[in-house]
Structure 1
Amino acid sequence: MKKSNQYTRQVTARLLYRSVQEYKEKHPKASIAGILAILEKSPSGYYKYLRSKPSKTKVRREKTKKAIVKIYNDSHQLYGSPKIAEILHKHGIQGCQKYVYSIMKEANIKPKYLKHKIKTTISKGNDRKLHNLLKRQFNPKDPDSVWCTDITYIWTEEGFVYLTSVMDLYSRKIVGWVMTRNMEAAKVLECIEIAKRRRGIKKPLVIHSDQG
């Protein structure tokens, strides 16, 4: 029981000394003697704490923290703890997602979520010429009778790319896709042609989109 109480006092003292050290780093003009007097701690104990070698756990945590901050900044501050933990593992640095998250929280860093504003629809009056042939009939009876198309953007380390896809509404299978740097209509047509060749389309079918 005595050993347990002694260990608790030692841990509490180290936590207090660490708080004092962090406060001093943020406020260089603060009086260490004054702070220790308020906490009822002796200066000798504090300076002994400063001279003590960091534990292996602390050294490992600091090393991991530096690696996390580098990966985080290299990703333009987009990566969260799951992705960073994965990259750390590839570099031989052990640390589960929860461990990485705790360090990121301690360092007050969190991923930024981009709101990529982009004009996705340029109708030029075509919306008045086109008709809704599908009429919410989302379960066609035959394959390759109704296709749906869509375009989405994906963030990569080299910037945004656009993924155009064609889905057979009967099987919900992606039958064609193209990845490009822009949203040119020619690329959408190219994607449809790829799907037609793959499926051997000879007869007319309905192609439904959001008119983007």
Structure 2
Amino acid sequence: MTRRIFSPEFKREAAQLVVVRGVSEAQASRDLDVHATVLRRWVWEFGSSGADAFPGKGRLKPDDEELRSLRREVAKLKAERNNLKKGRSLLRQGPTVMFGFVAKYRGVWPVSWMCDALGVSRSGFHAWLTRPQSARARKDERLGAVVRASFVRSDRSYGARRVWHDVLAEGFECGLHSIERLMQMNALRARPRRRQLPKDQGERSIIAPNELEREFEADGPNQKWVADFTYIWTAEGWLYVAVVIDLFSRRIVGWSMKDAMTAQMVTDALMMAIWRRGRPRERLHHSDQGSQYTREPFQRLLADNGVTCLMIRSGNVWDNAAAESFFSSLKIERVKRKVYRTCDQARADVFDYIERFYNPTRRHSTI
């Protein structure tokens, strides 16, 4: 069995998933398909060396460690303070759900306070307590719980059709229109897709032919890879994200994130893909004509690993539609709903989207 190799960037993000974001080691191990002992060693090394880990020297200063602990405590206190305030925006999904929230927490907060905060009447709540449910309401309640669970698992990005497939997989019998009605009734709405053609103004040196011809399908894994990169705005500046996608499974087999648009970024993404999938016998690498992909070091890496280089036609974004589709999903389902104050915060969120949602669980319409 080929020994798996992980890039330093992957190790740092995996360790931060446990140390910073609070995900359990067991859950992170399952999500990332990394052995628990290996992940535990990464966490220990990251805790010892911080940002200088993998490889690196030095430790966090005691003052920095204390400051990080205090920031976590403040964040926790703010979350507790704003619990009911946040509940108002999260629970605007119809009177039934809001009344259920009031009934659940009336031993914690006064009913009049919660009703005022949620914008419902106290008389309506007390009438709801004594009113028997109809058969349809009971069915909608059971089905609605499954619909909401699927919607939340997708980070609120699934539309009715994908949620419907999840509901059918759970063993329920219902039509697509029922799912649409329940999602509308409970205000579960995916973000609308917005398409915008980018402009290509980069200089080109080595140009490869476009032999893929928009055939974004493969008979097996590791036959066709498409690559591209995008950028995400943070308060510290741009974060650039490069990916390599296997067209057979639509998995992100390689990725890299940098604060500068360099050839090293796309090289690191390709190296991660090769480490994960091994050296190919015959493989196509399809990208745009950006200078990062045309430079000699990247082209030499392709040649040394037996990968055939293909490129899209100049200014024709549809020739790389598979990669553009992923970036569209990333931004609509995750990035456009966030405000990133640091590049590290954006990097951690993109890592979470790729390795804990998009690769292992997200449903892909194409396949």
TM-score (normalised: structure 1): 0.44
**Greater strand share, 1 or 2?**
1
TM-score (normalised: structure 2): 0.28
**Greater helix share, 1 or 2?**
2
Which one has the largest radius of gyration? Answer: 1
Higher relative contact order (CA 8 A, sep 6+): 2
